[in-house]
Structure 1
Amino acid sequence: MPPQRFALPSEVPGLAARRIAADILDGVLHKHRTLDEQLDGAAAHPGLKNLSDRDRALMRRLVATILRRLGTLGHVLSRLLDRGIPTDAPRAQSALLIGAAQILWMDVPDHAAVDLSVRLVQSDRRAAKYAGLVNAVLRRCAREGHPLIEEVKSQTLDVPPWLLARWIAHYGETVARDIAVAIGHEPSLDLTVKSDAEQWATRLHGEILATGSVRTLLQGSVTMLPGFNEGHWWVQDAAAALPARLFGDIAGKTIVDLCAAPGGKTSQLVQAGARVTAVDRSPSRMARLRDNLARLKLEAETAVADAADWLSQESQGDVDGILLDAPCTSTGTIRRHPDVGWLRQESDISALAAQQKRLLQKAVTRLKPGGMLVYCTCSLEPEEGEQVVSALLATESTMRRVPIEAGEVAGLTEILTAEGDLRTLPCHLPREDPRLGGLDGFYAARLVKS
């Protein structure tokens, strides 16, 4: 006789948030679905609309904490389980991860973390038989979990081994470990403001970074913060705000923003006075870009199209500048998107690098003589950054690099390469409070057509 599905009172506080967290974890770890698609848009989890703002924030933090600490959680649970995590019932695995994450890193009473994880298992037909196991393991975790973390004291456990090996090879062991530590912290909220950064830093209880972004630790719904509805600012990591500034004075110039959604860089270019065409292949992401522009009271031409197709179909040699934020593995954004490390594979890099090279070649043909091309990716992998640009310069005699000067990046020489390109790392801008430090990992190069 199959295990009975227990009826649970819907009013148990916090259970719905944990059930949705378990569903989304299962989506990432077993169905290879990104967090973004499960949290927003047409494919978002249907239960999200019924959650209160408080429960939605709890659910997001739960999922993010587990994905940031997945390696350490695996280590702890493996020490507490005689036969490993059950593989025939994904809900039991999720319940153990959710309970342990709350006990070890979140401000949730241990008894509540245990009780709600047990209820989570009891509500699933396949997992119900593991309710006793989940209860016993999580009670042990409350007693023994912290010493087990101290036993290893290594946040490199939380980086997929293939990725850590690459970072050690490219950046050295010390920097690779610094990156691993940086992406283990929940990041701040970075904003690009239209004007009067000091005022908005004060109103949002934040600070102005050397690069000009406003950084705040405020949490909750972004749409409820002062200035959002009025369009005074938009959310954009401080590193992501740098490439669009490399064009210099673009007032009145025609600039194409390729792979533009959700539109932070488009907004910067328009705000700087350029006539902008934003191109993105995703209708839903382009709809979001248009919504953002409308809120910010900014105007740009938009095109829903594959960037390579759009570059081929339009007139040649007709634009002053192109910003190509190319599709990439996004390994530089793991601090904000902790699912990336567990969804990507090393084999993705070569395929994406080939796509990046094709896009760059096509972009060159659209530039006027003297036109500027800013190429960037949010990847830490040199094959998607430095090596792509080197390959272009080796084959395109009309293109030359224009090195970025320290004064253009607030004197932060540590984020510039020897060739004069931009290379930010998650461990840059360190602070005593790690939540206020760090940048997304970005690469950018500035090229001009002769």
Structure 2
Amino acid sequence: MARTREEGRQDTQGLGPRKAALAILRAVYLDRQMVAHLDQPRGLAPEDRARAERLAQTVLRHTGRIDTLLSAYLERRPHPLAQNILRLGVAELLLDEAEAYGVVNAAVAIAKQGRATGGAAGLINAVLRKVDQEGRARWAQLAPQTLPVWLRKAVGGAWGETATRAIEAAHEAGAPIDITLRDQSAPFEAGEPLPTGSIRLPRQTQISTLGGYEAGAFWVQDAAAALPVKLLGDVSGQPVLDLCAAPGGKTMQLAAAGAKVTALDLSKHRMGRVRDNLRRTGLSADMVTADALEFNSGPWPIILLDAPCSATGTIRRHPDLPFVKSAREVEALTKLQMQMLDHAISLLDTGGRMVFCTCSLLPNEGENQIKAALKRHPNLAVLPLDPKALGVDPAWISAEGGLRILPHYWQDRGGIDGFYMALLQKR
């Protein structure tokens, strides 16, 4: 993603952020890499890097809709890199409402610089001009981007067609910013208090400029992700094992509630983020970098297992995910979840409580895992949840007693990440 010195000096058309956005799109579409795993583009100012990622995510969030629109102007799809230039141009014209002259000229200039796209410069120029002239009316008639076939089949089979379409609309709408306060009783002037206790901020909010950020008064955490800790109730003074702890949102919640937390994660790099977050908030926890399946300390009175999963519940904030994940990967993850759940139960003290949770839309990573675990472990029970105390709709309680959240819930508030969680007890 590096720019040449010449480009850096003469980037009067704003090509730098656009080319960086196209590099992101290529990495996602062609190399199946998550945006979060990519190196930061070099040679760009922070605001240009932010613009590049925003542009790329806008395209990813609306790719199906953009391609449907473009098909009306193309006899056949051009080279993938030229298609990406067209996608970016459409996103700028119709979603960013950028000035057409600059968008078209920049797209043509970028095309001419590429060996695979130079021959498509004229086509890109003609198509984007037509999109600017008449594309808005067509765009308004198109449905939101659909989930990949394998995922749509699973989601539709679990929740029905109407809910699936609502989920897809929630994904296209994107996500606001939720924060968790270190001191839940402290007043916080910005944002909208949610029934669950989180604070919701507009998505354009600059978090680092908010009062209390430097003092560690809050951290970013989707309202759904903040609920698993709440299921445990009072943890003050209790030893708690937080398995798969990174990036540390739940660890901080537990520590802020007075628990004696042991935070464990396999990734040394990700544990560095937990350590940084604890340092900023002035909270503390024992840190263990290890494989959860090989960790045998215990027994523990309280365990929180936020198991590795498909993360399909977070598509509204990670629109690259549908282009990277596969059904085969989910199959492997469900087996790992089962192993981790069984091992965590073996570490749980008799009478102890455990929360199992995943940020997934799929019952195989949620409800079905718990049903299977209950059959494997006759001494395991699902403890009832109090919707009123949690601040959730009673309809969110699933048949086996867990909490099922889908992205289109709270639509009037801006939605919520898809999640599943259950409170278990070893009897």
In the superposition, the TM-score normalised over structure 1's length comes to: 0.90
The one-letter code of the counterpart of 2:365 is E
SS in 2 for 1:80: coil
Alignment of 1:434-449 (within 5 A): 436-449=413-426
Q: What's 2:48 paired with?
A: 55
Is 1:315 aligned with 2:297?
Answer: yes
1:336 pairs with one of 304, 317, 327: 317
Aligned with 1:168 (options 156, 167, 171): 156
Check if 1:68 corresponds to 2:57.
no
Matches within 5 A, 1:155-194: 155=144, 157-194=145-182
Give the match's secondary structure for 2:255. helix
The counterpart of 1:154, out of the listed 138, 143, 153, is: 143
User: Counterparts of 1:411 and 1:118 in 2: how far apart (Å)?
Assistant: 50
Q: Deviations over 1:79-115 (max 9, x none)?
A: 211121324xx2x222111111111111311222211
Q: Deviations over 1:363-386 (max 9, x none)?
A: 011111111110000000000101
- For 2:72, the equivalent position in structure 1 comes to 79
Q: Deviation string for 1:247-304 (max 9, x for gaps)?
A: 1111111111111110000000111111111111111111011000000000001111
Cα distance between partner residues in 1 of 2:398 and 2:184: 31
**Alpha-carbon deviation of 1:221?**
4.2
Q: 1:115 aligns with which of 105, 108, 129?
A: 105
Instruction: Please report how far the alpha carbon of residue 437 of structure 1 lies from its aligned counterpart in structure 2 after TM superposition.
Output: 1.6
**Paired residue total:** 422
Give the corresponding residue for 1:41.
Answer: none
**1:7-406 aligned within 5 A:** 10-38=10-38, 44-47=39-42, 50-87=43-80, 90=81, 92-151=82-141, 153-155=142-144, 157-195=145-183, 199-200=187-188, 202=189, 204=190, 206-217=191-202, 219=204, 221-310=206-295, 314-316=296-298, 318-406=299-387
Q: 1:356 to 1:292 in 2, by over 3 A?
A: same
Is the counterpart of residue 414 in structure 1 residue 395 in structure 2? Answer: yes
Local SS of the residue matching 1:21:
helix
Aligned partners of 1:411 and 1:37: how far apart in 2? 33
Shift of 1:229: 1.2
**TM-score, structure 2 length as denominator?**
0.94
Conserved 8 A contact 1:375-1:446? yes
Amino acid at match of 2:324: L
- Amino acid across the alignment from 2:243: L
Question: 1:29: Cα distance to partner?
Answer: 0.8
Which residue identity does 2:297 align to in structure 1? S
Q: Secondary structure at the match of 2:422?
A: strand
Give, in angstroms, the shift of residue 220 of structure 1. Answer: 5.4
Query: Cα distance, 1:149 vs. partner?
Result: 2.4
- Residue type of the partner of 2:31? K
Amino acid of the structure 2 residue aligned with 1:116:
A
Q: Distance in 2 between matches of 1:242 and 1:132?
A: 53
Cα 1:328–1:99 shift into 2, 3 Å: same
Q: Which amino acid aligns with 1:69?
A: H
Tell me the secondary structure at the aligned position of residue 321 of structure 1. strand
- The one-character-per-residue Cα deviations of 1:122-176 (angstroms, maximum 9, x if unpaired) are 222332222111111111111232233244x311x33222222222211111111
Secondary structure at 2:329's aligned position in 1?
A: helix
Cα 1:84/1:210, change in 2 over 3 Å: same
C-alpha contact 1:69 1:158 (8 A) present in aligned 2 = no
Deviation of 1:194 after TM superposition, in Å, equals 1.6
Where does the alignment leave 5 or more consecutive residues of structure 1 unmatched?
39-43
How far the C-alpha of 1:420 sits from its partner, in A, is 2.1
Q: Offset of 1:196 from its aligned partner?
A: 5.6
Higher mean C-alpha deviation, range 29-38 or range 440-449: 29-38
SS of 1:288's partner is helix
Partner of 1:11, secondary structure, is coil
Cα contact 2:239–2:259 (8 A) shared by 1 = yes
1:320 deviates by 1.2
